[in-house]
Structure 1
Amino acid sequence: MLCDLGHALNKILKDIINRYHVSIGDRVHYIPGWDCHGLPIENKALKDLRKEAHTLPPNTIRKAAEATARREIETQKAEFQELGIMADWREPTTYRTLDHEYEIRQLRVFQKMVERGLIYRHYRPVHYSPSSRSALAEAELVYTDDHVSHSVYVTFSVETNFASPALQKLLGSLGETSARLLVWTTTPWTLTANMGIAVHPEMVYELVRGRDAGDGILIIAADRRLALEPVVGDVDVLATVTGSDLVDTAYIPIFSSLAAASAPLHILPSSHVTPDSGTGLVHCAPAHGAEDYNAFRALNLISSSTSIVCHVGAEGAFTDEVAIVVGPEAGKTLAGQEVLKGGSKAVVNLLEGIGALVKIEKIRHRYPYDWKTNEPIIVTATSQWFANLDGIKQDALQALEKVSFYPEISRNRLESFIKSRSEWCISRQRVWGVPIPSLHHIPTDRAVLTSESLSHILSVLQTKGVAHWWDGPVSDFLPPSLSAEEGEWRKGTDTMDVWFDSGSSWSQLPEQHADVCLEGSDQHRGWFQSQLLTAVGARSSEGSTPQAPYGTLITHGMVLDQEGKKMSKSLGNIVSPMTVIKGGKDKKKDPAYGADVLRLWAATVEYWRDMSIGKTILSQAAESLRKIRNSARFILGNIGPKEVRERLQRVEQKDMHIAERYVMHELYQLEQVALEGYANYNFPKVMNALGNFANITLSSLYFDITKDCLYADSLSSFERRSVVTVLEQVLTTMTRVMAPVLPHLAEEIHHTLQGYEDLAMGSSVFAKKWEPLVCPCSSRNAKVGSDVGDVQPPNWEDVVAEKSMTELLRVRSAVLALLEKARGDKNLKSSLEAEVDLILPSRARPIRR
């Protein structure tokens, strides 16, 4: 995929860290890599083929997807190099999740988790994307706040003979033979899978009758009566009953499968019922809701896949099993209707036809979407492979205790996500990915995924390639213990969640541990978690101390437009990093800023928060870079070429004037801020300090007061040699400070300083270690025969010079203000015409040189 600004920001921040550590002499192990599997690549390949996935054999899709992935990698690789990302970009030194070695390592990680009993298969409700035709993990969801649903209030009938004793007694005392249970749902299509109605045992419920003639008895929660007035109108309360007294009341179902008898369903107790919304009676469809499923499991009402009613197929449409079983519409089927489209409306129409519909309301609410297709998802029961996180959750949290977080507040975010998860759905219904190599016994529908079966299968895949899982016969993968069984076998068709792909990346590191991981804040739900969970799941053992696969986690925010809005094609506010670097078609509208401007922007924003970018912001970054570059140009133009500087006799610190000592003090302070800022990933602090030094200390002060000396004095004069000594060190240190962020400018300065003949030899500013400030003349001016190692560099932190210069600058500011006033009064044209007399009080202390 083309590199966007989020990619660019991420790669630049990583590169700044890498370049800094290279500068200070650390060995950096950085391997560029790509996640290659998953839906985006598969969809792009299918789009190129102009075919639907279900019309093509797996081999065709996989070959097309691999070609697409390799093509996109080359495109991104070229763009990352345009950003100035320092790495060995040759193919053998990069990694891709489609590489054979990577896939085998990933499967070995998976096998270790199987050996620990962490992987299991289950039929239960999961997030499912009809648009992707696959299950999704929580990390693959985005939530939209303006989703529109049609919520319905529906009644289910209760006959006296099937009511609980308490309800039966009340109805008898009222002379009634039936009542209606009022429920509310925002997903009418799930009513076909209704398996019960939940009440809270401790809540109070009311039997009410509408004041309009002919209305029967409704049962609602007492706490919801006022809120339900727009639905049920004015009512009279006839009696009250607790939720526990309603439990076991049977009611008549509306929908069922054609093969099932219309047996009564029951009211059941559940703590997930609240008085905050709805009617206080909750429609339960265990196939389509985690809370419903858990409530039924807790009551031992479901124990196998056949116990759950589900009428939704892989395409998100009703199957041919669902039909209405009561009233005049009995026998009418919903088969083929998509539940998120016409299916939900068809259900509402049927409910209205049998008189069960009380009211329909259009509501706007928060709803999960597939983050890749941007289409709504559903919750539905399917057979999926899961990783049990309850067994490793505490180990994962313990491992995080030793991890450093930047910013520190992001620790809470990651820990909260891990604490809230009990399992991870790791299977996907796609063919482009790493297979979950399970074997299925056709006669019994038994799935086999054991350490023994995996050992045999992985030995085959190691030799013949992972693609052989799709191409080879099932007989190749049957270990002796299974091939001896009667009946046919088939290979599993699920692939692993791509988060398992990327989460296994720690396994390729020499020590299976990274010093730093840096990603966007959305990766607290994704990569940060999957790395930790796979590492702890595969490596931890009883009695051992769990270890995280990383030492430091750095989180950056999202890139917004100049007005703080999220970038999107519909708004037309997307900024391309390649347009920033190379310019657009209209160079006046979109000038070419070059990579260093984009890098400077990335290093000056508070990246740990969401940040903005736009024409004004880029223009400001370009101006900041221009000022830093101009300072370097001024210095290079005055210190002379390399051969002249080689003959220059530098001036010792002890002989320098106060201005030179002050500038070196400020330079020392800049370097200390830079070293501390880079070490703590606070790049804005570094670049702000560099900008202030270039603009204030140099341009506004030192360059101004030394111009006469540089232009008029002889090359051998003490004053000029003193200034050049300082300027030379200033440029060297400034280049070191800017190099991690502005490598192109730093290299240009370095080559100019060293002489362009070094350019042909591959000289780089990063090839020499960044040493803290030392005297630029100590070794060069030492006397012949002296021990150079005994020469101690000066301490450039000069508090006396700083204090004295501060007093002088205060006087200077007063003088400049008077000169400006004199020019304004037209008493002089130039400051050179003025004479300044300073009269100091007798108690004033002399300023030391």
Structure 2
Amino acid sequence: MTDTAEKIDYSKTLYLPETDFPMRAGLPQKEPETVARWQQMGLYKKLRASAAGREKFVLHDGPPYANGNIHIGHALNKILKDVITRSFQMRGYDSNYVPGWDCHGLPIEWKIEEENYRSKGKSKPDLSEPAAMIEFRRECRAYAEKWIGIQGSEFQRLGIIGDFENPYLTMNFHAESRIAGELLKIAKSGQLYRGSKPVMWSVVERTALAEAEVEYADVDSDMIWVKFPVRFIVRDGAEAKFDLLDAAVVIWTTTPWTIPGNRAIAYSPKVAYGLYEVMAAENDFGPRPGEKLIFADNLAEEGFAKAKLQYKRLRDVTAAELGGMTCAHPLKGLGGGYEFPVPLLAGDHVTDDAGTGFVHTAPSHGREDFDVWMDHTRELEARGVETKIPFPVDDAGFYTADAPGFGPDRDGGAARVIDDHGKKGDANDAVIKALIAVGMLFARGRLKHSYPHSWRSKKPVIFRNTPQWFVYMDKDLADGTTLRSRALKAIDDTRFVPGAGQNRLRAMIEQRPDWVLSRQRAWGVPICVFVDEHGEVLKDDAVNQRILDAFDAEGADAWFAEGAKERFLGNEHDPAKWAQVMDILDVWFDSGSTHTFTLEDRPDLKWPADVYLEGSDQHRGWFHSSLLESAATRGRAPYNAVITHGFTMDEKGEKMSKSKGNVVSPQDVMKDAGADILRLWVMTTDYWEDQRLGKTIIQTNVDAYRKLRNTVRWMLGTLTHDKGEVIALADLPELERLMLHRLAELDQLVRESYDAFEFKRIARALIDFANVELSAFYFDVRKDALYCDAPSSLRRRSALHVIRNIFECMVTWLAPMLPFTTEEAWLSRNPAAVSVHLEQFPTIPAEWKNEALAEKWRKIRAVRTVVTGALEIERKDKRIGSSLEAAPVVHVADAELLKALEGQDFEEICITSGIVIDRTEGPADAFRLLEVPGVSVEPKLAEGTKCARSWRITTDVGSDPEYPDLSARDAAALRELAVQN
């Protein structure tokens, strides 16, 4: 060995990776700095400028409610939206994201009442006074503004890029004017009407609720069976059967408080009924022996058992008999009321699945009750029955004078259904005691069942007849369509991801009642119409325009200002003849109208939107209200596609709740791990289903991220030595051409999956590509060439050329998903660049695709799998330290596999110092894998000396006298390096 050779530090002669891109990401510290950089450089505006003139792709943001810090559901939702808009932006579209907020509504009112009044012992102001109303609304506006600022910052911390300087807000003056304008369009077209119907009413919140504002929870309810004595039967020419006049029809209900509102009993002509006689009774109250009762045959045994009765069946009771039958109200005479007849009416909703086969019908307290009553109105009037629907319960849940004996005339005052805290009142007990007192209670019990609750207060609601403003679902709109038919057609014309959403929304539209718009609150856009004494809406374009102009300039507060009525009616209409409606619009109408003042009015967007994306609950919410509003005013949906995601559960699949202590907040995840970890979790879930999240799942994503980051880091380090040389495809070694083929395949998968919104498919493919095909195969194979080959080596230069392409593809493909990490990597590689997010996905040449080559290498890699499996055992048993110490004999009896190996440097592919290919089956004790038949491996030690530079064991070490401890390849490389230096 020469003196020169002794002094050489061979590690300094290698092209080892060098990069400032750290192994430890430090995302919680770096990400806020990146957000600040994006804001300072105006990245959003640069994106808009770079996309000017391109075809627009618009995802319209469903507005979150402005009243609290964001939760994990918000994070999931906004990340998905951000990935979509970024992916289209990087594929040649102008994909502008405009965030928005829902600002009106009850929750904000309640917060203002709590924080500004109740907590301070102050009374809520009298909102009938214009000045007080406007001041209260100003307080609500300020509260919403505060949370919009907070949530906006939290969304941007997630890496969301959008127009946060100019978001859309439903409380902006222009937005309020447009929302009011949409209402006035509906009113002018005759679709708006004031009606008295049973609506879901929140006693706690003192307002009507829409379907979208109701959820269901189990409650433990009273249930009662009640007797309605038969009093009259229409003979209809047949022989009278007077035995029924001594009988009673038995109904069953889980809402005893609705009995004072009863006006009819529904039966089904499809159900078999019988007349039964009580033979013996073992109860403290209820029917006595000799009483005759009418039941559905399938339910008689269960009912009589509940009342502890012995009975016998006397005869059939026909549908004709039931249809001509009238009963007395069970509370007849109480408080001087209930003297009216109770007719039996045929109803399609009646079954013999539960109860008695008869349905107690209180048209004030149920949709089906109301419908069956209205369907029989003419018939009832012909029979002399009063068809006016009563108002037995007021807005506070108290009985009114329409419930004699339970209302204001009752000793101790009116009974109450639900109190201000959502607790059960005394109405049920009062009704049950009254029924026992008059001998009309058949039986009683308790039942746990699903019951509607307010989505916001989480308290039970009641069905209550009250005057409200509605939009017709089935009125002919003068073009042969109805709102329902328009909406159903729009659903058929819309793409749904996943597809099941289409059936879900269709079922809701098919079954829904007329759309109730009115709310009895203060903070929102008013139902800005005038009505005459007959309830007819004023339709005057000049009046409407004055209203809209005022709202645009002053906001909807103008409606509540002193003198507003006279101002808007002008000189053309007598204020004494017109009443100003003071109800406000349901906030779902607000959010359902956002497409008008956002998509239509902003030149940087377009109508309709390409995509709406929200949680699956929005089939009854935003998707639903947007569809109805747009169908009512434009005849179609405001979207071309609807994407839904599920809800986030804890790691056990249980719903997150503060009481359980299992809530995972996005703020905590970002503080501990970083937003990109949260985004990676979103990208690797089946987001359209319910997902799970917790410490273990977060750690799994941290581990996956770390491997991915290290792959990117190694590429950056290796590309430090890249000169940017482009090697012609024909000149590349097969292995490099194989990797370009894989990029072509991945490019197709990535683009198709972004189009299909299948992000998990992309994330899984790229993670597997990085871990399995790059780190564990291609990079591993090429490290020797990249580190040790001479500067002029085509193999080394080709590898750099391909790694450069892999890096550019991987980082840009991942940029929509992991915006912080990819930005850091891109700027590390290209310090003069502005941002990776201003780049486009690389255009992949068609000639990179080479299926024949890929098939050949599938065979080569199959043989390699057997070799690596054999060497792993040798390493485990410590017969070798690394694969470079081996020179196995590979027996390949399969002709196709042998052909694939021809001309290959298989020892380099297997990372060994030598290899022998044998065409025989190999000895019985050779290593084999069942999945690769025809291949076996005999592990052998490499012969020769270990090269001090490359660590390969070869027989030509020392062949160059100037470098006696190097192989010939490494000695030549050093000589070339010396010349260059």
TM-score (norm. length: structure 2): 0.76
SS of alignment partner, residue 283 of structure 1: strand
Pick the aligned partner of 2:162 from 80, 83, 87. 87
Tell me the equivalent position of 1:707.
783
| Partner deviation per Cα, 1:601-638 (whole Å, 9 max, x = no partner) | 11111111111111111111111111111011111112
Tell me the equivalent position of 2:277.
209
Tell me the equivalent position of 1:18.
85
Contact 2:174 2:551 in 1 (8 A): no
Question: Which piece of structure 1 moves more, 355-364 or 340-349?
Answer: 340-349
Pick the aligned partner of 1:43 from 110, 120, 126. 110
Would you say 1:129 and 2:202 are equivalent positions? yes
| Partner deviation per Cα, 1:471-497 (whole Å, 9 max, x = no partner) | 23243345257743656x543221111
SS of alignment partner, residue 640 of structure 2: strand
Tell me the equivalent position of 1:533.
628
Pick the aligned partner of 2:214 from 141, 157, 160. 141
| Partner deviation per Cα, 1:349-405 (whole Å, 9 max, x = no partner) | 222223222211100112111111111111110101111122222222223333222
Counterparts of 1:393 and 1:711 in 2: how far apart (Å)? Answer: 70
Counterparts of 1:360 and 1:56 in 2: how far apart (Å)? Answer: 44
Contact 1:115 1:450 in 2 (8 A): yes
Would you say 1:818 and 2:870 are equivalent positions? yes
Tell me the equivalent position of 1:394.
485
Tell me the equivalent position of 2:886.
834
Tell me the equivalent position of 2:452.
368
Counterparts of 2:633 and 2:334 in 1: how far apart (Å)? Answer: 43
| Partner deviation per Cα, 1:637-692 (whole Å, 9 max, x = no partner) | 1221xxx64x4544332222222222222222222211111121111111111001
| Partner deviation per Cα, 1:747-796 (whole Å, 9 max, x = no partner) | 111101112x54xxxx011222223235xxxxxxxxxxxxxxxxxxx721
Q: Cα distance, 1:211 vs. partner?
A: 1.2
Pick the aligned partner of 1:335 from 409, 414, 420. 414
Contact 1:158 1:252 in 2 (8 A): no
User: Judging changes above 3 Å, is the alpha-carbon distance between structure 1 residues 298 and 821 closer, same or farther for their aligned structure 2 residues?
Assistant: closer
Contact 1:670 1:693 in 2 (8 A): no
Question: Which piece of structure 1 moves more, 362-371 or 206-215?
Answer: 206-215
Q: Cα distance, 1:835 vs. partner?
A: 2.2
Question: Which piece of structure 1 moves more, 810-819 or 698-707?
Answer: 810-819
Contact 1:24 1:771 in 2 (8 A): no
Contact 1:192 1:255 in 2 (8 A): no
User: Judging changes above 3 Å, is the alpha-carbon distance between structure 1 residues 811 and 347 closer, same or farther for their aligned structure 2 residues?
Assistant: same
User: Judging changes above 3 Å, is the alpha-carbon distance between structure 1 residues 32 and 825 closer, same or farther for their aligned structure 2 residues?
Assistant: closer
Supply the AA of the counterpart residue of 2:176: E
| Partner deviation per Cα, 1:185-216 (whole Å, 9 max, x = no partner) | 11000011111223335655433221136542
User: Judging changes above 3 Å, is the alpha-carbon distance between structure 1 residues 709 and 653 closer, same or farther for their aligned structure 2 residues?
Assistant: same
Q: Cα distance, 1:437 vs. partner?
A: 1.1
Tell me the equivalent position of 2:961.
none
Tell me the equivalent position of 2:772.
696
User: Judging changes above 3 Å, is the alpha-carbon distance between structure 1 residues 721 and 204 closer, same or farther for their aligned structure 2 residues?
Assistant: closer
Q: Cα distance, 1:424 vs. partner?
A: 0.7
Counterparts of 2:406 and 2:706 in 1: how far apart (Å)? Answer: 77
Pick the aligned partner of 2:710 from 623, 626, 630. 630
Pick the aligned partner of 2:855 from 796, 803, 807. 803
| 1:517-596 correspondence runs (5 A) | 517-540=612-635, 547-582=636-671, 592-596=672-676
Aligned sequence identity (%): 35
| 1:260-659 correspondence runs (5 A) | 262-300=339-377, 307-324=388-405, 335-339=414-418, 340-390=424-474, 391-440=482-531, 444=533, 446=535, 448-452=537-541, 453-480=543-570, 483-484=573-574, 486=576, 490-508=579-597, 509-510=599-600, 511-540=606-635, 547-582=636-671, 592-640=672-720, 645=722, 647-659=723-735
Counterparts of 2:290 and 2:509 in 1: how far apart (Å)? Answer: 50
Question: Which piece of structure 1 moves more, 61-70 or 692-701?
Answer: 61-70
Supply the AA of the counterpart residue of 1:454: N
Question: Which piece of structure 1 moves more, 296-305 or 817-826?
Answer: 296-305
Question: Which piece of structure 1 moves more, 287-296 or 402-411?
Answer: 402-411
Pick the aligned partner of 1:229 from 299, 304, 308. 304
Aligned length: 794
SS of alignment partner, residue 15 of structure 1: helix
Supply the AA of the counterpart residue of 2:392: H
Contact 2:867 2:890 in 1 (8 A): no
Question: Which piece of structure 1 moves more, 547-556 or 625-634?
Answer: 547-556
Counterparts of 2:586 and 2:387 in 1: how far apart (Å)? Answer: 26
Question: RMSD in angstroms over aligned alpha carbons?
Answer: 2.9
Supply the AA of the counterpart residue of 1:307: K
Supply the AA of the counterpart residue of 2:83: I
User: Judging changes above 3 Å, is the alpha-carbon distance between structure 1 residues 607 and 451 closer, same or farther for their aligned structure 2 residues?
Assistant: farther
Contact 1:504 1:531 in 2 (8 A): yes
| Partner deviation per Cα, 1:563-604 (whole Å, 9 max, x = no partner) | 11122222221111111111xxxxxxxxx1111111111111
Counterparts of 1:842 and 1:279 in 2: how far apart (Å)? Answer: 77
Supply the AA of the counterpart residue of 1:409: A
| Partner deviation per Cα, 1:390-449 (whole Å, 9 max, x = no partner) | 2222222223333222122221112221122241111111111110013355xx474634
Rg comparison, structure with higher value: 2
Q: Cα distance, 1:827 vs. partner?
A: 3.5
Supply the AA of the counterpart residue of 2:134: N
| 1:142-181 correspondence runs (5 A) | 142-144=215-217, 146-159=218-231, 162-165=232-235, 172=242, 178-181=246-249
| 1:764-775 correspondence runs (5 A) | 764-774=835-845
Question: Which piece of structure 1 moves more, 341-350 or 295-304?
Answer: 295-304
User: Judging changes above 3 Å, is the alpha-carbon distance between structure 1 residues 815 and 346 closer, same or farther for their aligned structure 2 residues?
Assistant: same
Q: Cα distance, 1:157 vs. partner?
A: 3.1
User: Judging changes above 3 Å, is the alpha-carbon distance between structure 1 residues 712 and 152 closer, same or farther for their aligned structure 2 residues?
Assistant: same
Counterparts of 1:28 and 1:108 in 2: how far apart (Å)? Answer: 28
Q: Cα distance, 1:345 vs. partner?
A: 1.8
TM-score (norm. length: structure 1): 0.88
Q: Cα distance, 1:228 vs. partner?
A: 1.6
Counterparts of 1:211 and 1:256 in 2: how far apart (Å)? Answer: 29
Counterparts of 1:289 and 1:549 in 2: how far apart (Å)? Answer: 32
Pick the aligned partner of 1:674 from 724, 746, 750. 750
Supply the AA of the counterpart residue of 1:595: A
Counterparts of 1:48 and 1:126 in 2: how far apart (Å)? Answer: 30
User: Judging changes above 3 Å, is the alpha-carbon distance between structure 1 residues 270 and 632 closer, same or farther for their aligned structure 2 residues?
Assistant: closer
SS of alignment partner, residue 827 of structure 1: coil
Tell me the equivalent position of 2:97.
30
Q: Cα distance, 1:278 vs. partner?
A: 1.8
Q: Cα distance, 1:29 vs. partner?
A: 2.8
Contact 1:320 1:336 in 2 (8 A): no
Counterparts of 1:699 and 1:45 in 2: how far apart (Å)? Answer: 57
Contact 2:812 2:839 in 1 (8 A): no
Contact 2:531 2:580 in 1 (8 A): yes
Contact 1:201 1:269 in 2 (8 A): yes
Pick the aligned partner of 2:252 from 176, 184, 207. 184
Contact 2:470 2:515 in 1 (8 A): yes
Contact 2:726 2:801 in 1 (8 A): yes
Contact 1:210 1:235 in 2 (8 A): yes
| Partner deviation per Cα, 1:529-563 (whole Å, 9 max, x = no partner) | 211221121123xxxxxx32111111111111111
Counterparts of 1:21 and 1:273 in 2: how far apart (Å)? Answer: 52
SS of alignment partner, residue 249 of structure 1: strand
Tell me the equivalent position of 2:902.
847
Question: Which piece of structure 1 moves more, 691-700 or 450-459?
Answer: 450-459
Counterparts of 1:518 and 1:842 in 2: how far apart (Å)? Answer: 53
Pick the aligned partner of 2:144 from 59, 64, 69. 69
